[in-house]
Amino acid sequence: MEGNASSSGSHPHVVILGGGFGGLAVARGLADTNARVTLIDRRNHHLFQPLLYQVATAGLSAPSIAAPLRQILRRQANVTVLMDEALDVDLAQRCVTLGHGTLGYDALVVATGATHAYFGHDDWERHAPGLKTLDDAFTIRRRVLLAFERAEREDDPAQRQAWLNFVVVGGGATGVELAGTLAEIARHTLPREFRRADPRRANVLLVEAGPRLLPAFAPELSEKARRQLEKLGVEVRLGTAVTRIDGQGVMLGDTPHAARTVLWAAGVAASPLGSRLGAPVDRAGRVLVEPDLSVPGHPEVFVIGDLASVTQPDGKPVPGVAPAAKQMGRHVAAALKARWQGKTSPPFRYRDDGSLATIGRMAAVAQFGRLKLSGLLAWWVWLVAHIAFLIGFRNRLVVMLDWAWAYWTYQRHARIVTGRDETATLPRDA
């Protein structure tokens, strides 16, 4: 693409990097303006990340939680969607270097999010996949399903049990969801289908280095989550650090634990683009933005979503969740519109609409200010909220159908192994 120069005056060019909840909210917020908007994403789809663990655990098919960005935005004529990768930003020249060409801007919104991080142990990645993209979800699905297949084919009892042992590292929302669902699959979905291995002998171990699960929730809900997980059959180990991960399992402090399947839900690191903006970043690489979400010294550049480090007036950080990213996106759209009308924009205020985490069948925790729920009621709230927020009527319908089906039959319809079996190439004793 040519060096698409930014225009000035009546048709400002707004470039949005990233089509997640934040970037999409900016684009939509500019629908009623005469701005030209270009949305860049490495992928062709917006992903409903809160349900990604369901794709990883074979409960939903990928298209149920993902929609092409250009389909979502097709009716908004002032938006051009380009599938490309943003490599660098030139703040002085006001242009973005893409994988294919450069793009000038009048205003830039960086919303490229975060990925999983291994705290300096990058070699753990091949043994313990994390969950951020659809491809990650397919990798986890393949490893989990193949583990049961290997167990069925294995004659040595110790090896068979190692294939039936699962470790989830990290007790945040993703770790809790993965562990609870794995236990449900082993106990309810698979038992009748195997003749030699017994899936009910699967052990799902959830390891958290901190003192409690779900640290974003009130302590009593963390405790309720732990008890609900144990009821589902998950073994929870708190205050336990994973010191090593390899093809044989994990090292918990000094104790080895054999497990051929390890899933990573422990750490996130901000997109590398954050460090290219000349602004201070925090330990996780998130950009310390101004109260209006702009980059210090560059009022025309904004950072939103998981890539932004924002502290509220009460001193609490804004959490890295979808509602916060959406609110930031709407804020930036409003701020741009105010500026174009010669007005000043107010600082960003995060409105906490509550937190929800699902744990498994009829088990969840929810917190709305002082109201705390757990168990069946929290699960219903979770279910309704997630179906309501899913983009597109059709997806909602299909997800409801899939869930109703799974609920009554204990079946999970997406139990399809595709792609390369990377465990086959791992040396057995690595």
Which chain residues interact with a second copy by CB under 8 A? 1-2, 43-45, 61-64, 66-68, 70-71, 74-75, 80-84, 100-101, 134-135, 138, 145-146, 149, 152-155, 192-196, 394-395, 397-398, 401-402, 405, 411, 413-419
- Of the pair 145, 202, the CB lying nearest a second copy is at 145
Question: CB of residue 83 vs a second copy: minimum separation in angstroms?
Answer: 4
Question: CB of residue 62 vs a second copy: minimum separation in angstroms?
Answer: 5
- Of the pair 192, 351, the CB lying nearest a second copy is at 192
Contact 171, 205 (CB under 8 A): no
Active site residue: 177, 220, 290, 422, which one?
177
- Of the pair 83, 269, the CB lying nearest a second copy is at 83
Question: CB of residue 294 vs a second copy: minimum separation in angstroms?
Answer: 28
The rounded distance, in Å, linking the Cα atoms of 26 and 325 is 10
Strands 287-288 and 308-309: parallel
- Of the pair 241, 397, the CB lying nearest a second copy is at 397
Q: How many residues does the chain have?
A: 430
| Phi and psi torsions of 124, nearest 5° | -75, -20
| The two structure tokens encoding residue 362 | 């009829």
389 class by beta-carbon count within 10 Å (0-12 exposed, 13-18 middle, 19+ buried): middle
Residue with tokens 């280095």, as numbered in its chain: 209
Return the bridge partners of 268, or none.
Answer: 116
177 is annotated as an active-site residue = yes
Q: Is 255 left (phi over 0), alpha (psi -120 to 50) or beta?
A: beta
The rounded distance, in Å, linking the Cα atoms of 21 and 51 is 13
The rounded distance, in Å, linking the Cα atoms of 356 and 367 is 7
Question: CB of residue 116 vs a second copy: minimum separation in angstroms?
Answer: 17
- Of the pair 261, 327, the CB lying nearest a second copy is at 261
Q: Is 328 left (phi over 0), alpha (psi -120 to 50) or beta?
A: alpha
Question: CB of residue 405 vs a second copy: minimum separation in angstroms?
Answer: 5
Closest CA to 140 of 113, 116, 114, 112: 116
Catalytic residues: 177
